[in-house]
Amino acid sequence: MKNYLIAANWKQNGNLKSLSHLTRNIIALSSKRKIRHKIILFPPAIYLFNIDSLIKNKKNILLGVQNISPYNDGAFTGEVSSKMAKDSGCNYVIIGHSERRHIFGESDLEIQSKVSASNDMKMNIILCVGETASERRKKMTKKVITKQLRTALFPLRNRLRKNLQKLVIAYEPVWAIGTGKNATTEQISDIHNYIAKSLSNIFGRNSLKIKILYGGSVNTANAKSILELDSVDGALVGGASLQAKKFIEICSSI
């Protein structure tokens, strides 16, 4: 049985009360349903400490931060460093989510700096890649993904190689995020296999240690068929992770 990783990206939703309630329900349901897969919760950064205190001692439920500063300590108003995130109980970080790229204008080079800073702190990195609808229409999907992967990873390859099991790629087609329009299993297999090949071009045979997740409108109806694909090692779930019952149903579909 594959060791799946299911991530819950809560984005900028909820408040202390509702997210604590959601966390308690996820803990209770995951133990009731005997979920063995690794679950990673990504609350808004301001609540990391609170959520961490609720999941303490839960071996399969871990904590992550949705975004990270590309810098270490210093005069960077509003930023949270990898060291601070670790201090708040985080072992995972999402880097290059499409909302960061497209709403906040994050470049591939900034993403590379974030990967570098998080790797220095030995964080587990979930690097998101994916094409927009118009890029897919123009048949540019693979080109876009190659650029995203190579700019973020290639210059750091020698350092990353030491901890490849801590690197995770999430394929998240921008047109599938929050739209209810998930990619088809054929599209997912095609791109996941392509990502695996690109990673092997960068890192060689050891790249098999890198998990590849799918994200984009994963829900209780499509989770099983997506997670059953050979090339899929887990999911990054947004909207459906805000309801404990739905999220745990996704986790228990495999």
Do the beta carbons of residue 90 and residue 47 sit within 8 Å?
Answer: no
Catalytic-role residue among 106, 110, 131, 172: 172
Tokens of 24: 């308690």
Output 176 or 210, the one with its CB closest to ligand PGA.
Answer: 176
Catalytic-role residue among 37, 97, 131, 249: 97
Q: Look at strands 124-129 and 61-65 and give their pairing.
A: unpaired
Tokens of 223: 């989770």
226 belongs to the binding site for ligand PGA (CB under 6 A): no
Choose the binding region for ligand PGA from 22-30, 43-51, 116-124, 236-244 (rule: CB under 6 A): 236-244
| Lookup result for tokens 């209780």 | 220
204 belongs to the binding site for ligand PGA (CB under 6 A): no
96 belongs to the binding site for ligand PGA (CB under 6 A): no
Closest-CA residue to 230 (of 206, 248, 212, 249): 212
- Compute the distance between CA of residue 203 and CA of residue 188 in angstroms, rounded to an integer: 22
Chain residue at closest Cβ approach to ligand PGA = 238
Burial 133-146 (b: 16+ CB within 10 A, else e): eebbeeeebbebbb
Site string for ligand PGA, 143-172 (x = CB under 6 A): -----------------------------x
- Compute the distance between CA of residue 222 and CA of residue 15 in angstroms, rounded to an integer: 28
Q: Catalytic: 110?
A: no
Question: Shortest Cβ distance from residue 96 to ligand PGA (Å)?
Answer: 11
* CA distance readout (Å), 49 to 44, 102, 130, 162: 10, 28, 31, 29
64 belongs to the binding site for ligand PGA (CB under 6 A): no
Tokens of 141: 């999907």
Q: Catalytic: 172?
A: yes
Beta bridge partners of 129: 171
Q: Among 82, 198, 217, 252, which residue sits at the site for ligand PGA (rule: CB under 6 A)?
A: 217
Question: Shortest Cβ distance from residue 137 to ligand PGA (Å)?
Answer: 20
Q: How many residues bind ligand PGA (CB under 6 A)?
A: 13
Q: Which residues bind ligand PGA (CB under 6 A)?
A: 9, 172, 177-178, 215-218, 236-240
**Residues that are catalytic:** 97, 172
